[in-house]
Structure 1
Amino acid sequence: MTIGDLPLIGRWLQTPAVREWWIDANGQPADPIGEDNLDDPDVAMWIVSSRSSPFAFIQDYDPHAWPDHHFGHLPLRSRGIDQFIGVQELLGYGHDPAFITAYVDRLHTGGAPVIGTDPHPTNARAIRAYQKAWFQSKEERLTECGPCFLMEHAKRAE
């Protein structure tokens, strides 16, 4: 993701399906993704495209970069992920599990032993998408980010 993608991300963050779940610990809209986020060495952000058409956002981060993070128990080099589809017309067609699976495979190939994600416990669409991408349900927990349903994807033995 580049600085040129920020207006697109800003528009996507205003769509109802994204705004409902991209929230802070108090249930309020999360801070917008800005230029300062692009410079964070512990986070990698990407625009997901199909046929040169951008339709989604995904990021991965080092959970060990934050003290007491709820994925701090994962082995070193593990990553956390967050994602959303920004083009509302593409919701409900199975795109989430497809690009999540491809991205998780890429992270595992790069050396990440476990990938964690933490959708809101009532976000059934996200939980189903992660389950279809082979994430295992762990537990519901109140975290520093608010209520989360913790899920993990371990690298498969080859």
Structure 2
Amino acid sequence: MPSERNIRFAPVTPADYPLLRRWMESPHMREWWGEPETELGYIRDMVEGRDTTRPFIFHVDGEPAGYIQVWSIGDAIAGGYDDKAPWLHGATPDAVGVDLSIGNPDQLSRGIGTEVLRNFLAMLVEEGHETIIIDPDEANRRAVRAYEKAGFVAYDRHVDDDSVTLLMKLDLKRFKETTG
């Protein structure tokens, strides 16, 4: 399925930190992400090579529009992240996870997230990844719907003290059939 928009992914660099800070301080991101300084610290670790997660700014029609990252389940477990996300043990170590957010709130609910995600997934599948997961807060219905439209299906839920994580996996066969 060809993209209607011109979408490209650029690895995050230190020059992107002010933009990321602005986005992460906005209410629509604060609702689902952690504290901006903490999140930016994680991204700095990625950019500077202390974390294997690959962070990107996605551009839509030439304009920076949001943030997306891909991370290794095996590396997350080896790094002790499973203390915060025990459900990781139910995924195969060769799986990768994806997280994303639209940067500008004016761009929400316009199909951009689904389209960006489908383009990013095509890149990951081309790289050879066969198991791709995403783990939204179940209460984030806008994100869950976008992920379903991109080809993810829910397979489990993890309940903790203050939220429910919906575990979703890309239906790779269906994704390949629809992206041709």
TM-score, normalized by the shorter chain, greater than 0.5:
yes
Q: Which runs of 5+ in 1 are unaligned?
A: 24-28
3-state SS of the aligned residue for 1:137?
strand
Structure 2 residue 107 is matched with structure 1 residue 96: no
Match of residue 61 from structure 2: 51
CA–CA distance in structure 2, aligned partners of residues 98 and 47 of structure 1: 15
Q: Which amino acid aligns with 1:37?
A: M
Note the 1:46-125 alignment, pairs <5 A: 46-67=56-77, 68=82, 70-125=87-142
CA–CA distance in structure 1, aligned partners of residues 141 and 168 of structure 2: 13
Do the aligned residues in 2 keep the contact of 1:60 with 1:81 (CA within 8 Å)? yes
Q: TM-score normalized by structure 1?
A: 0.87
Do the aligned residues in 2 keep the contact of 1:57 with 1:83 (CA within 8 Å)? yes
Q: TM-score normalized by structure 2?
A: 0.77
Do the aligned residues in 2 keep the contact of 1:71 with 1:116 (CA within 8 Å)? no
CA–CA distance in structure 2, aligned partners of residues 140 and 19 of structure 1: 22
Aligned residues: 153
Structure 2 residue 40 is matched with structure 1 residue 33: yes
CA–CA distance in structure 1, aligned partners of residues 74 and 89 of structure 2: 5
Do the aligned residues in 2 keep the contact of 1:77 with 1:111 (CA within 8 Å)? no
Match of residue 4 from structure 1: 15
CA–CA distance in structure 1, aligned partners of residues 64 and 152 of structure 2: 25
Do the aligned residues in 1 keep the contact of 2:46 with 2:52 (CA within 8 Å)? no
Q: Which runs of 5+ in 2 are unaligned?
A: 1-11
Cα RMSD of the aligned pairs, angstroms, is 2.1
CA–CA distance in structure 1, aligned partners of residues 46 and 162 of structure 2: 17
CA change 1:155–1:61 in 2 (3 A) is: same
